[in-house]
Structures are given as structure tokens and as C-alpha cells.
């Protein structure tokens, strides 16, 4: 059952040439989308700051912004479609992995496991996400409008150097804190015997998810570092033939 | 080579001189051969790697690869890709130098395909793994299930049947790899063996764990479900075997001529009228049968993933057939008649 990998290369090149001239509709839609997302994450940022200033504590902060967060983070799935249909020239897999990890955190960890919502690690990754997303979406917006202020480009390709590891730390700590509650309640798990002859243990699944950060995070991080060298420093990188 | 030929002729002439016959004149030398010059450059850096002169015009790409290997022993021929254009397709081993669109100085671009491994090795490892792994779970070796179940036997006859079917499937595949399959590429990248073996071995372990579990639940519709599924499974196994035999008979040993497969007298091959890659169709059918037989969700999952992969390969092969043969039957679909 071996696959031959030779065939697609010539066709792909032709497709790339076609897609480089984006339709006006695609540009308009992407501009609208990125402006909307920038606005959404700005709203989140302000709501978080307002809560903290008014209440002086982070307890209950997650609950107050939960709906907005879930809304804007879930809409990001659309970005995978953008890559798939080619109006955004990024790998579907890279975008897919990033969006899926966010959706997973929001829906399957913080939303489902209420006891960890007041943890500091949650605030940590929320702050990181907010900062990163505002920078990213405003970068895309200005890029599409062909008026990119240098400080946004600088922020996009430099802040991730500390933001990414901080965000990962927040996420991993949150999952780790959630583990005892998952074990106790046996949530999202299925045991034998059952008529589908399958079992699923959410507790061990979460441990595997945590371990998967080890190979995945460096790949995403180095991908961003490579992008930084290309975009900010103008280096030409010869890609490995694989 | 010329001096040897002359020597041989001289010897022949010596023997003949014992008989009283006029010495035959040695035939005139063949017309002068125009030797080629071959330049090999790195496809990425365009750096000149090797210059060969006095290359026979009838040499094949494989001969040139062998010569390149002599000066660069770390790149054995299977790992070399020689192209006329740095971004073009790799030249085939059997292409002859003088038939290529080059002057008497041929320039080839070289890229390293990475460490290679024989396809037979990969196929056999892919198949021996699941065969043995499943049996480990079937016999309930220690450390898999709770200790009280070690070496015990399942009380459901469908579990024994499933083991026989699974093992039969992989034994059949091993025998086909050894005696039937003829693959055009001699090797594949080394990392494929890790990728492919992980896929097969992990899925086999996952399926086998549940089917042979002491708490396994037999199919909901009982004997009827198992018997129907078994018939589907066996039908598709015979079908898949027939297709593999037919594909083998298409190619004569050593010939690289490609032919369109057609339905033969064997009814299992009549599906060629509707499908380009019926071996994948039958494979899908076998695994669907196995899923229904065991009523096990991991098996269903394996079937679905396999179906997606086989569809991608079938569509690629179908596209190649259409490109290669202008009279390719238009009724055929890649893997599912009329659908996909």
C-alpha cells in the first residue's frame, strides 16, 4: 500500500500562478473578517481589563468573558477554510493544528471543567492569546489594505518569541490542574463493555495531549522563527526538498 | 572493449587456420561512435559535481548513475534523481542517453532522494507486524489484559473467526508481496518504513485489543450478522486476489510497457469495466465486512482512514491512466463505480 509522491508537483505550480491574483471579492471578505476579529479581541481585552480594575481579582473573570471568547475563538475555524480554498497562502495543516488546539482548550478544558476557571494559568493564556490575536489580525488587516505600520509588523514577528512559550505554559498548566477533576468525574469517557467495543479515557487522552506539545510546539515555533527571518530580515531560505 | 573483440576474432582465426580454408577477412569496424560528454550539477546550488567524458551514446541513465556513484560512493544509484531541468521530473533509469533532447554535452541536475529502502522490505514489515501483533492479543499474552485472563480463550466464536480472517488477510498479502506484485519503483525513501509500519502496527494493536478483550460484546444481530459479514469478507478477498493476478499478468517480466487492465474471464475482474483500481475497491469491501463482523468502532475507524488513503491513491492512478492512454475507457471511476 505504498504511495507514489511524484505526480502533483507540476500541477501545483500552475495552480499557484492562478491563485496569486486574488479576486477582489476575496480581498474584501478577508479585510472584513480581519477587521471584525481585531475588533472582537479588542473587546475581549477591554472586558478583561475592566473586570480586573473594577473587581481587583481574577476570580470570576473567565465567566464574565466566556461567551465572547467562545464566539470569537470558534469563528477562527473559518481560517482553515481560507487556506483550503487558497485565498490565504498558508498550509492548511499548520493553521488547522493551531485553531484546533485553541478550540480544544476553550471547549474541552475551560468550558467543560468548571473548577479550573479561576486558575491563574487560565488568565495567563487568555492574556497571551488576546495580545497575539490583536497583533495578528491587525497585521493581516493592514497588509490587505497595503498600509502596514512598521510597529505592527515588528510586534507580529517579535512578540511571539516570548508570547508563544508563555501561552504554552499557561495551557499546559491549565490542563495539568484539570487532570484530578477529570479523573474524579470520569467525564467524556466510555468504558467496556459496550456494543461498540471501544473505550476512551479522557484522563489519559489529556496526558497524551500534553505530551504532544513536545513535538508540535517546537515545529510551530521554528516555523514562526523562519517566517521572521524571511519577513523581517529579508533572508532567503532554501527550503529542504522533502 | 574493441581490443578484446579483436583478440577474440584473432583466436577464432587461429583455430580456423588449422583447416585448409582461405582466411575470412575481419568485418570492417562499425561507423565511428560519437561519444557524449555528461555534466552533473547540483539541482539546488547549480554547483558542478562531475564531468564525464567518453560516455557511450547507448548508455542508460542507470549507467550514468553507476558512474556517478563511483566518484560519490555515498549516493548509490537508487538515491539519485537526475533531471534535465532542475525543477522538472526525474529521468527514468531505462532512458537512453542518445534519445534524450540533449546535444553531445548533456547536463543533468542531481538531487539526493535521501536514504532508500527496497519496497519489498517495507511491504513485508507492514504485513508481518499486524499479523503477529493481532496474535499476541488473541492469545492474551501477559501484561495486556488483567492477569486473570492471561492465556485464556474467548468464549465467543466470532472472536476466533475474526482472528482467522485477520490473519488470512495478512498472510495473503505477504504471499502476494513475495510472489505476485510487480512494482515499478525499486525503492522508496527510508522514512516510509517508519511511517507505514507505525500506521499498520498501531491500528492493528488498537483493533486487536478490543476484539480480543475479555469484555468484548458480540455483534448485535448475532449469527446472521457474522455470517453475512464473513461472506462479504471472503468475496472481497477473492476479488482482490483476482485483481492482483490480473495486474501481474499485464506486465511481462522485465518489460516496462504499460497496458490498460481489462476484464478477463474471471467474474471478479468484470469490475474493471467500471473502476480503474478495483484492488482498492475490494480491499475496502473486505474491511467493511470485517467491521460488520466484529462490530468494533476502532475497526470502522481503520476502514474509514484506509478508504480515504486508497481513494487518494486511486485518483492518482486514474489520472495517470488518463494521461498515458488517450483511448482510456471513460466509463471508469477511480475507486467506486460512478461515485468516486
Cβ of A10 and B89 within 8 Å? yes
- What's residue B20's pLDDT? 54
Is residue B261's pLDDT more than 70? yes
Q: In which residue are the cell numbers 478495483 written?
A: B278
- What's residue A165's pLDDT? 95
Is residue B298's pLDDT more than 70? yes
User: For B109-122, what is the mean pLDDT?
Assistant: 89
Cβ of B216 and A194 within 8 Å? no
Cβ of B185 and A193 within 8 Å? no
Alpha-carbon distance of A52 to A164, in angstroms, equals 23
- What's residue B41's pLDDT? 87
Q: pLDDT-derived band of residue B45, with 50, 70 and 90 as boundaries?
A: confident
User: For B179-203, what is the mean pLDDT?
Assistant: 88
To the nearest whole number, what is the mean pLDDT of chain B?
Answer: 87
Task: Work out the number of other CB atoms within 10 angstroms of the CB of residue B245.
Answer: 16
CA angle B92, B97, B100 (to 5 degrees): 75
Residue among A164, A176, A181, A221 flagged as catalytic: A164
**pTM recorded for the entire structure:** 0.78
- What's residue A129's pLDDT? 96
Q: pLDDT-derived band of residue B15, with 50, 70 and 90 as boundaries?
A: very low
* 8-state DSSP, A189: -
H/E/C letters for each residue in chain B? CHHHHHHHHHHHHHHHCCCCCCCCCCCCCCCCCCCEEEEEEECCCCCEEEEEEEECCCCEHHHHHHHHHHHCCCCCHHHEEEECCCCCCCCCCCCEHHHCCCCCEEEEEEEECCCEEEHHHHHHHHHHHHHHHHHHHHCCCCCCCCHHHCCCCCCCHHHHHHHHHHHHHHHHHHHHHHHCCCCCCCEEECHHHHHHHHHHHHHHHHHHHHHCCCCCCCCCCHHHHHHHHHHHHHHHHHHHHHHHHHHHHHCCCCCCCCCCCCCCCCHHHHHHHCECCHHHHHHHHHHHHHHHHHCCHHHHHHHHHHHHHHHHHHHHHHHHHHHHCCCCCCCCECCCCCCC
Is A202 one of the catalytic residues? no
The 10s digit of each residue's pLDDT in B222-246 is: 999 999 999 999 999 999 999 999 9
User: For B244-253, what is the mean pLDDT?
Assistant: 85
Cβ distance B232 to B292 under 8 Å? yes
- What's residue A178's pLDDT? 95
Q: In which residue are the cell numbers 489520472 written?
A: B319
Q: Provide the residue ranges of all domains of chain B, joining segments of one domain with +.
A: 36-114, 115-218, 221-339
Alpha-carbon distance of A226 to A209, in angstroms, equals 25
Is A171 one of the catalytic residues? yes
What are the average pLDDT values for consecutive 10-residue runs of chain A, which has 242 residues?
39 46 87 96 96 93 95 96 91 89 94 93 96 95 92 92 94 96 93 92 95 90 88 67 42
Q: Which fold would CATH assign to domain B36-114?
A: Ubiquitin-like (UB roll) (3.10.20)
Residues of B in contact with A2 (CB under 8 A): 119, 122-123, 183, 188, 192, 196
Cβ of A197 and B295 within 8 Å? yes
Q: How close B52 comes to chain A (CA, Å)?
A: 26
Alpha-carbon distance of B26 to A91, in angstroms, equals 69
- What's residue B22's pLDDT? 61
Residues of B in contact with A3 (CB under 8 A): 309, 312-313, 316
Q: pLDDT-derived band of residue B142, with 50, 70 and 90 as boundaries?
A: very high
Q: pLDDT-derived band of residue B71, with 50, 70 and 90 as boundaries?
A: confident
User: For B183-189, what is the mean pLDDT?
Assistant: 81
Cβ of A197 and B211 within 8 Å? yes
- What's residue A15's pLDDT? 45
Whether a cis peptide bond, with omega within 30° of 0, leads into B168 is no
- What's residue B61's pLDDT? 86
Q: How close B26 comes to chain A (CA, Å)?
A: 50
* 8-state DSSP, A182: H
- What's residue B94's pLDDT? 80
Residues of B in contact with A199 (CB under 8 A): 210
Percent of chain B clearing pLDDT 70 (strictly above): 90
- Chain A residue with Cα closest to B121: A2
- What's residue B326's pLDDT? 87
- What's residue B51's pLDDT? 87
Q: In which residue are the cell numbers 512559550 written?
A: A165
Amino acid at each position: 500500500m505504498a504511495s507514489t509522491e511524484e505526480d502533483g508537483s507540476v500541477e501545483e505550480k500552475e495552480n499557484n500562478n492562478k491563485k496569486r491574483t486574488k479576486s477582489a471579492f476575496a480581498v474584501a471578505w478577508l479585510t472584513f473578517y480581519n477587521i471584525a476579529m481585531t475588533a472582537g479581541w479588542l473587546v475581549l481585552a477591554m472586558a478583561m481589563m475592566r473586570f480586573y480594575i473594577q473587581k481587583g481579582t481574577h476570580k470570576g473573570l473567565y465567566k464574565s468573558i466566556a461567551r465572547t471568547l467562545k464566539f470569537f475563538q470558534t469563528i477562527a475555524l473559518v481560517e482553515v477554510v481560507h487556506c483550503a480554498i487558497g485565498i490565504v497562502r498558508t498550509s492548511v495543516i499548520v493553521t488547522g493544528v493551531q485553531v484546533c488546539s485553541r478550540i480544544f482548550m476553550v471547549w474541552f478544558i475551560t468550558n467543560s471543567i468548571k473548577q479550573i476557571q479561576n486558575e491563574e494559568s487560565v488568565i495567563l493564556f487568555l492574556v497571551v492569546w488576546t495580545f497575539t490575536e490583536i497583533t495578528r489580525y491587525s497585521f493581516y488587516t493592514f497588509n490587505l489594505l497595503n498600509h502596514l505600520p512598521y510597529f505592527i509588523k515588528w510586534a507580529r514577528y517579535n512578540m511571539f518569541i516570548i508570547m508563544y512559550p508563555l501561552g504554552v505554559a499557561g495551557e499546559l498548566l491549565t490542563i495539568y490542574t484539570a487532570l484530578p477533576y477529570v479523573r474524579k468525574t470520569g467525564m467524556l469517557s466510555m468504558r467496556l463493555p459496550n456494543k461498540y467495543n471501544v473505550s476512551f479515557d479522557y484522563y489519559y487522552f489529556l496526558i497524551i495531549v500534553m505530551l504532544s506539545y513536545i513535538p508540535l510546539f517546537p515545529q510551530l515555533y521554528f516555523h514562526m522563527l523562519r517566517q521572521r527571518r524571511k519577513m523581517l530580515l529579508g533572508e532567503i531560505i532554501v527550503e529542504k526538498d522533502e | 572493449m574493441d581490443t578484446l573483440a579483436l583478440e577474440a576474432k584473432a583466436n577464432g582465426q587461429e583455430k580456423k587456420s588449422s583447416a585448409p580454408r582461405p582466411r575470412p577477412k575481419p568485418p570492417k569496424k562499425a561507423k565511428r561512435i560519437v561519444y557524449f560528454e555528461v555534466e552533473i550539477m547540483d539541482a539546488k546550488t547549480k554547483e558542478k559535481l562531475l564531468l564525464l567524458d567518453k560516455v557511450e551514446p547507448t548508455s542508460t541513465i542507470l549507467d550514468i548513475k553507476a558512474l556517478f556513484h563511483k566518484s560519490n560512493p555515498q549516493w548509490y544509484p537508487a538515491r539519485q534523481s537526475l533531471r534535465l531541468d532542475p525543477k522538472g521530473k526525474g529521468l527514468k533509469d531505462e532512458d537512453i542517453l542518445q534519445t534524450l533532447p540533449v546535444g553531445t554535452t548533456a547536463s543533468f541536475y542531481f538531487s539526493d532522494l535521501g536514504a532508500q529502502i527496497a519496497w519489498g522490505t517495507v511491504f513485508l514489515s507492514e504485513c508481518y507486524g499486524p499479523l503477529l501483533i493481532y496474535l499476541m492479543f488473541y492469545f492474551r499474552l501477559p501484561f495486556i489484559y488483567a492477569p486473570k485472563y492471561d492465556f485464556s480463550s474467548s468464549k465467543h466464536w466470532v472472536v476466533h473467526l475474526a482472528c482467522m480472517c485477520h490473519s488470512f488477510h495478512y498472510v495473503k498479502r505477504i504471499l502476494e508481496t513475495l510472489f505476485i506484485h510487480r512494482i515499478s519503483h525499486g525503492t522508496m525513501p527510508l522514512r516510509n518504513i517508519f511511517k507505514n509500519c507505525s500506521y499498520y502496527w498501531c491500528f492493528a494493536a488498537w483493533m486487536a485489543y478490543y476484539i480480543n478483550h475479555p469484555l468484548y460484546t458480540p455483534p448485535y444481530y448475532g449469527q446472521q450478522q457474522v455470517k453475512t459479514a464473513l461472506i462479504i469478507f471472503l468475496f472481497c478477498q477473492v476479488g482482490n486476489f483476482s485483481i492482483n493476478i490480473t495486474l501481474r499478468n499485464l506486465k511481462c517480466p522485465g518489460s516496462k510497457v504499460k497496458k490498460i487492465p481489462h476484464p478477463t474471464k474471471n467474474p471478479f475482474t468484470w469490475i474493471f469495466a467500471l473502476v480503474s483500481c478495483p484492488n482498492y475497491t475490494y480491499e475496502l469491501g473486505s474491511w467493511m465486512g470485517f467491521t460488520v463482523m466484529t462490530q468494533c468502532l476502532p475497526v470502522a475507524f481503520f476502514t474509514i482512514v484506509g478508504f480515504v488513503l486508497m481513494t487518494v491513491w486511486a485518483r492518482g492512478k486514474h489520472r495517470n491512466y488518463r494521461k498515458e492512454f488517450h483511448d482510456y475507457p471513460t466509463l471508469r471511476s477511480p475507486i467506486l463505480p460512478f461515485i468516486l
